[in-house]
Amino acid sequence: MARIVLVEDSDTLREGITRALSEGGHEVSALGSAEQGLARVREDPPDLLVTDVILPGMSGIALVEAIRERHDRLELPIVIVSSLDATEEVTRGYAAGADDYLLKPVVPRELRARVTVLLERREHAQAASQTSKQPQWKRYERQQLLGQNDSATVHRARRRGDDLSVVLKAVRPGAPAHVTEHLLREAELLRTLGELPHMARIRDVGQDGGCAYYAMEWVPGRSLRTILDERGRMPCAEAARVGRGLAQALASLSTLGVVHGDVKPANVVIKPDGEPVLIDFGLAHRVGEPNSGHRGTLAYVAPEVLRGDPGTPAADVYAFGVLLYECICRGFPYHARGDELAALKIEGAPPELGALLELDVPPGLISVVESCLEVDVARRAPVERVVTALLPYEG
């Protein structure tokens, strides 16, 4: 099963293409704009993307070009589906970086066949790359590439001997020494967390395949990002249950003097029983210690962090408040994006929470969101209070 992002603004076509791909056994995240698609790819890269050309705002061609700045054809195949059949339009799509171009109306069987070919090409290229360029791993069998950058890779893997499923983060062979040092510090921090509730646990640290690695438990379930992309928003009771579990995780981290640093839906897995689990501690650090220099995803970054203050548990509470707002309202507490959003936060502009009042949200739950999104750190709710405040709204 592959994870596919679909970008199509027509509800009817979006439903039809989603059905065609789902019947092929794939997990589909269907979105209505190129901006949403680009944000989704940057937060949690899928195995393949399907996009229309004519979209509100950014065009499908611009989306393909933006994706190709970070992901090559073998890493993330792209299929364009469009009613534009002129030769120059098709040529423009391929020139932008598309791997295939299908005309509407889409024939489901043909779409599935084209997608299968591209996914198989991707799988074979990744396998060949690992075999030819990297030493063989003795302790783990790497099964699926989940993410990568210039210095490290993240794979779903199986531990030989006991078949334990893990998420394996490893430094690339030949990476600078400081990269290995950072990964080992990250692993040591995770070891000190032990068996805390609602958090993925570290299982192993070592050297294999010619590089340093650590292994986290594989958490079965679905990304909260994917769930929100598909459903739009959650009922208040469900949002409160998910939120309270995450707040408990953040309270445990706060007690230990640890900041997660990257709380957002893409870093939360919802298990089949509904339990939320916080993952990806790549930006985590102890209070008072410098982080890696990265600030996380702008929409979730607290104003004081953008001003250069060190991250504290209060910054995690702010990010959590954005996440909770998104679960309840479908959207963000600021309408601005990019540099405009950063400027508003730095200036101390209050978030725009009117959407909460337009929905059937209990006043007490609105107060929880407001207290988490306080611009003034001194007035922001401590996470322990958030855990207690959410309890009455779990249903």
pLDDT at residue 89, as a whole number: 86
Across 173-192, average pLDDT: 88
For residue 129, what pLDDT is reported? 58
Q: How confident is the model at residue 198 (pLDDT cuts 50, 70, 90)?
A: very high
Decide if 269 contacts 228 (C-beta within 8 A): no
**292 — pLDDT class (breaks 50, 70, 90):** low
Can you tell me the distance from the alpha carbon of 303 to that of 373, in angstroms, rounded to the nearest whole number?
10
For 203, the 3-state DSSP assignment is strand
Name the pLDDT band for 374 (thresholds 50, 70, 90).
Answer: very high
For the whole prediction, is pTM greater than 0.75?
no
**For the chain, what percent of residues have pLDDT higher than 90?**
60
**CA 174/CA 153 separation, integer angstroms:** 13
Are the C-beta atoms of residues 285 and 312 closer than 8 Å to each other?
A: no
The predicted-structure confidence for 333-359, as pLDDT tens digits, reads as follows 988 888 888 899 999 999 988 888 888
pLDDT class of 259 with cuts at 50, 70, 90? very high
pLDDT at 70: 79
DSSP three-state, residue 206: strand
pLDDT at 362 exceeding the cut of 60: yes
Give the per-residue pLDDT at 210: 78
What pLDDT score does 230 carry?
82
Q: What is the pLDDT of residues 208-223, one digit of tens each?
A: 877 899 999 999 998 8
Total count of residues recorded for the chain: 395
pLDDT (tens digit per residue) in 234-255:
999 999 999 999 999 999 999 9
294-296-298-303 Cα dihedral, nearest 10 degrees: -80
| Lowest mean per-residue pLDDT among 7-11, 146-150, 173-177 | 146-150
Residue at 282: amino acid letter: G
Residue 196, Cβ density class (10 Å: 0-12 exposed, 13-18 middle, ≥19 buried): middle
pLDDT band at 128 (very low <50, low <70, confident <90, very high): low
- Give residue 133's pLDDT band: very low, low, confident or very high (50, 70, 90): low
Contact of 37 with 7, CB cutoff 8 Å: yes
Cα first-last separation, the chain: 34
At the fourth CATH level, which superfamily is domain 222-393? Transferase(Phosphotransferase) domain 1 (1.10.510.10)
Query: Are 328 and 369 in contact, with CB atoms under 8 Å apart?
Result: yes
pLDDT of amino acid 336: 83
Where are the domains positioned within the chain?
A: 3-128, 135-217, 222-393
Q: What is the mean pLDDT of residues 78-100?
A: 91
Q: Which CATH superfamily is domain 3-128 in?
A: Response regulator (3.40.50.2300)
Q: DSSP characters for 25-45?
A: T-EEEEESSHHHHHHHHHHS-
Written as six digits, the tokens of 395 are 């249903």
Weakest mean pLDDT among 92-96, 125-129, 354-358: 125-129
Mean pLDDT of 43-72: 91
Residue 146 has pLDDT above 90, yes or no: no
**Cα separation of 57 and 204, whole Å?**
46
β-strands 140-148, 202-208 pairing: unpaired
Q: So what's the pLDDT on residue 270?
A: 95
DSSP one-letter string for 131-191 = HHHSPPPSSEEEEEEEEE-SSEEEEEEEETTT--EEEEEEEPTT--HHHHHHHHHHHHHHH
CATH number of the domain at 135-217, out of 3.30.200.20, 3.40.309.10, 3.40.50.10470, 3.40.190.10?
3.30.200.20
Contact 322, 373 (CB under 8 A): yes
Q: What is the pLDDT of residue 361?
A: 92
pLDDT tens-place string over residues 27-55:
999 999 999 999 899 888 999 999 999 99
